[in-house]
Structure 1
Amino acid sequence: MVWKKIQQGLRSRVSESIYQLWLEPLSFTSFDGRRLVLESPDKFISAYVERHFAAVVKSLLAEAGVKNGELVLREAVHRAAPKKSTSPYQKRLPLVPENNSRLRSLNPKYTFDQFMVGESNMMAESACESMTDGDSLAGICLYLHSATGLGKSHLTHAVAHKIWMESPLTRLHYLTAKQFAAEMVRGIHNRTMDDFKAKYMDNCDILLVEDIHTLTGKNKTQEELNDVLDSLIKSGKRVVFTSNAAPRDLKDIDSEFCSRMTSGIVTPMKAPDTSTRCAIIEKKAGLENLILDADSVDYLGTHIRGDVRRIESALRSLKMMTRMSRGGVNVEMVRSVVAQVVGYTESVLTAPMISELVSSQFKVSVEALQSKSRKRNVCVPRQVAMYLARKHTEESLVNIGRCFNRDHSTVMHSIKVVTDRVRRDTAVNAQVQMLSDKVTQM
């Protein structure tokens, strides 16, 4: 039988421990003369075998006289699966001690390929990717901080997903700072602190702790986590922390602990700009099979700022509306969602709004600002309007230019001209500052 020959060939090429761990759990399903179909206990073994042994199996098939042989792996269907957890990432691998890792429930959508990268989060995403690859450039300690809803959990979930997919034997512990504190308290109460310390110091390859800011004032927990961190860093293990505050803004955190946490890369995640928000909207709408035209995407991207969860909420609401109306998305739906469901009702400044303000202040029509006129009484207000639009909105240079029928290079030139005049001429500075104050009051 072909599979018997393949087994013998594999056993002769790898150590007995590797064979028992990865290859022995495979079982023969079928062979049609070219395709060898094997059943695997779970997706992790399938992924590992596919990556490390598929070429060897094809070579052994060729040695057995099978031309263009192919290996097909299928996961076993467990009819009596335990109800304790529905996450495939928490299955125990053969010969691996139980409870070797600690994970919170992972969101299956929070992966690197579903994370939208922009200028606001490029550094954080790159650092997390490097952490999963063991890139020495990233160091062994990473501290991410941002306001809520900007992607910290998405990235930490993505780290866990990727590590478990590519290196399922990695001893990864993923929990919140509050969970760590609660576990420590149980250890003290049950007099099992030695086990608690061994778990994180001796049986951990990568530690991910979210919401580190919740440890403010909890000196005992900080002390224990500091000892764990010190041990992991000295052992060359990897550590990722997240917080809603920059290290310098953390209060009641031990200075030695803070110093260790920030010994590697510290990177903020800022709110995405308008263009990135629009890209996020298009991406998430595609995942929801929701068709949005360019105007709808632009309106949502312009008005829903900050927390990305607002975008997700808006898209879910739009999806429900289209299902109820059995039609497509229209402008009224989009405006309704932004104003009522998302709860974002405050006025959002746009280039056209600023154009109208400047028009009234300089006694020149909006049409004149959009015209090709190069007269000073038109050109100066136009340049000031572009300068203020860039300063007070998140619109791109292209969008600002479009408002005045100009390209982005003209906008850049106008901004430079006004900036120079404000610096050199106190009268111009006062006038522009006055207009700027009025813009902020709109």
Structure 2
Amino acid sequence: MEYIWKKIKAVIKARIPGHSYRMWIEPIGFVRDDDDAIVLSCPNFFSKKRIQDHYLSMIESEARNISGKACPFVLEIAGKEKTRQKKRTADKNFKPSRQMDLPHAGDDRPRARMMRKEFTFDRFVVGNNNDFAYSAALSLASQSDRNQSSLYLMSETGMGKSHLSQAIGHHILNHHPRDNVYYITAEDFTNEMVQAFRNDNIGKFKEKYRRQCDVLLLEDVHFLTGKERTQAELALALDYLLNADKKIIFTSCYLPTEIPRLNDRLKSRLSSGLISNIEPPDFKTRLKILERKLRLQKLKMPKPVVEYLAGELSENVRQLESGLVGVMAKASLMGTPLDLSLAESVVRNIVRTSRKVTVDLIKETVCQHYKISTGDIVSKSRRKCIVRPRQMAIYLARKYTDQPLQVISRNFNRYHTTAIHSIAAVEKGLTSDVAMKKQLSFLCGKIETFQAPST
């Protein structure tokens, strides 16, 4: 029957688009021929469901055409058969002749920061907002598409791009434990390079990222804005990796073309692969996320409360998780029933006022604080006493409104690249400028308590 399965795959390959075949049919493996069915294996639950919904009837039809009889198929998730074999081996008290080597045991080569163990494909909730990104990430991790060597995941904070990036790393390490998978943020990459120059170890740094790296997971590439030396070194490293058919995954809140002060060479490398955007989850997906979290943590919550959280906490996945944790913690600490009134009290403290706060209200609040006019803040002036308030206002507009960056930019008579630079300048200042941090905290307090000036 394995021969028949190969013929079925050949027929299907000619009938469906090439990318669909490589993504869904090619990874399916023949397991065994039972008396009443042919057993096939799929890489994961999502793949199994996709096959059942879209391709199983085609597979059974082609099997009937080739063999002349009905051939029912059973789909398993890869790894279950191995688990059964391990159990049988354990039952026989089998002992290996020597202890198996742990991946990278005794490996003294430099390693990147550790990935979160729970960020795997099987814990990623797939919905309409992220199904393409998930499929692209899984394809790259399983190497089912040989032409795909890089992936650029883009989304707002808290949408799951870091989860998918690290899931690729976990998948590759599980299937190819000898591969060097480096997971690092752009900021850490920059700091590591600076330290290499200071300690006269730049040769070792270059060797690490050009020769020793098999998979590079680079987070928050927009941090590289304006860092010319780092951009040049990264572009060279990417050339080496891409020429060697290594895997590269980038994450960012912005498209490569939207990142200001990024040299053309690096921008070209970032844009050379597949770019996938992750949208905010819809209600159905948010509900699935909450149910998955509750199941994994072995917690119970009344369905009306779960549905209420999914309906109210719509900003991103992190906000959703914060609501879940807050409700469970408050119920436990206060000893109160886990009901809708409790959930409402928690949600009130989480939900931002973005629907009520406008860009104009933020401009007025900032102008009153800095004692400038709204005309000044949207003018072409580059005086420091105007630039700083403008940057703060753009940052706050991004934080407290749902307006796209292009709309915010137009409200200040600026290009969207200038808005990105303003946001980056404020974020950088918060780590080193105590005065800016205090000013921003004060403005946030005014906006959140609706103490903005009246017009």
- Name the TM-score class by shorter chain: 0.5 to 0.7
One-letter code aligned to 1:259: S
Instruction: Give the corresponding residue for 1:93.
Output: 105
Instruction: Give the corresponding residue for 2:33.
Output: none
List runs of 5+ in structure 2 lacking aligned partners: 1-78, 357-455
Q: TM-score, normalised by structure 1?
A: 0.57
Among 284, 289, 312, the alignment partner of 2:293 is: 284
One-letter code aligned to 2:155: S
d(CA) in 1 for partners of 2:313, 2:87:
53
Instruction: Give the corresponding residue for 1:36.
Output: none
Among 268, 273, 282, the alignment partner of 2:277 is: 268
d(CA) in 1 for partners of 2:291, 2:270:
36
d(CA) in 2 for partners of 1:328, 1:70:
51
Aligned CA distance change for structure 1 residues 134 and 336 (closer, same or farther; 3 Å): same
Note if contact 2:180-2:214 (Cα within 8 Å) is conserved in structure 1.
yes
d(CA) in 2 for partners of 1:274, 1:297:
11
d(CA) in 1 for partners of 2:191, 2:340:
49
Q: Secondary structure at the match of 1:118?
A: coil
Note if contact 1:303-1:344 (Cα within 8 Å) is conserved in structure 2.
no
d(CA) in 2 for partners of 1:186, 1:346:
41
Instruction: Give the corresponding residue for 1:181.
Output: 190
Instruction: Give the corresponding residue for 2:151.
Output: 142
1:162 Cα deviation after fit: 2.0
Q: CA deviation digits over 1:121-171, x for unaligned, max 9?
A: 111111211222122256001101110000111112212222222222101
Among 313, 329, 332, the alignment partner of 1:304 is: 313
d(CA) in 2 for partners of 1:247, 1:54:
43
1:343 Cα deviation after fit: 3.5
The reply to whether residue 171 of structure 1 matches residue 183 of structure 2 is no
Note if contact 2:159-2:316 (Cα within 8 Å) is conserved in structure 1.
yes
The reply to whether residue 159 of structure 1 matches residue 183 of structure 2 is no
Q: Secondary structure at the match of 1:149?
A: coil
Q: Secondary structure at the match of 1:173?
A: strand
List runs of 5+ in structure 1 lacking aligned partners: 1-49, 62-66, 77-87, 349-442
Among 142, 162, 174, the alignment partner of 1:133 is: 142
The reply to whether residue 200 of structure 1 matches residue 209 of structure 2 is yes
Number of corresponding residues: 277
Instruction: Give the corresponding residue for 1:343.
Output: 351
Aligned CA distance change for structure 1 residues 269 and 138 (closer, same or farther; 3 Å): farther
d(CA) in 1 for partners of 2:340, 2:249:
42
Q: Secondary structure at the match of 2:212?
A: coil
1:302 Cα deviation after fit: 1.3
Note if contact 2:180-2:212 (Cα within 8 Å) is conserved in structure 1.
yes
d(CA) in 2 for partners of 1:111, 1:222:
30
Q: TM-score, normalised by structure 2?
A: 0.55
Aligned CA distance change for structure 1 residues 346 and 250 (closer, same or farther; 3 Å): closer
d(CA) in 1 for partners of 2:97, 2:135:
32
Q: CA deviation digits over 1:255-305, x for unaligned, max 9?
A: 221111111110011111111111111111222333223322221111111
Query: Percent identity among equivalent residues?
Result: 33
- Cα RMSD over matched residues? 3.5
One-letter code aligned to 2:207: A
One-letter code aligned to 1:268: N
One-letter code aligned to 1:290: L
d(CA) in 2 for partners of 1:346, 1:188:
44
Instruction: Give the corresponding residue for 1:258.
Output: 267
d(CA) in 2 for partners of 1:248, 1:291:
45
Note if contact 2:186-2:219 (Cα within 8 Å) is conserved in structure 1.
yes
d(CA) in 2 for partners of 1:124, 1:193:
35
Aligned CA distance change for structure 1 residues 256 and 312 (closer, same or farther; 3 Å): same
1:106 Cα deviation after fit: 2.1
Q: Which runs of 4+ in 1 moved over 3 A?
A: 53-59, 67-76, 325-328, 343-348
d(CA) in 2 for partners of 1:273, 1:117:
11
Q: Secondary structure at the match of 1:142?
A: strand
Question: Which one has a bigger Cα radius of gyration?
Answer: 1
Q: Secondary structure at the match of 2:158?
A: coil
Note if contact 2:104-2:177 (Cα within 8 Å) is conserved in structure 1.
no
d(CA) in 2 for partners of 1:57, 1:262:
44
d(CA) in 1 for partners of 2:83, 2:96:
9
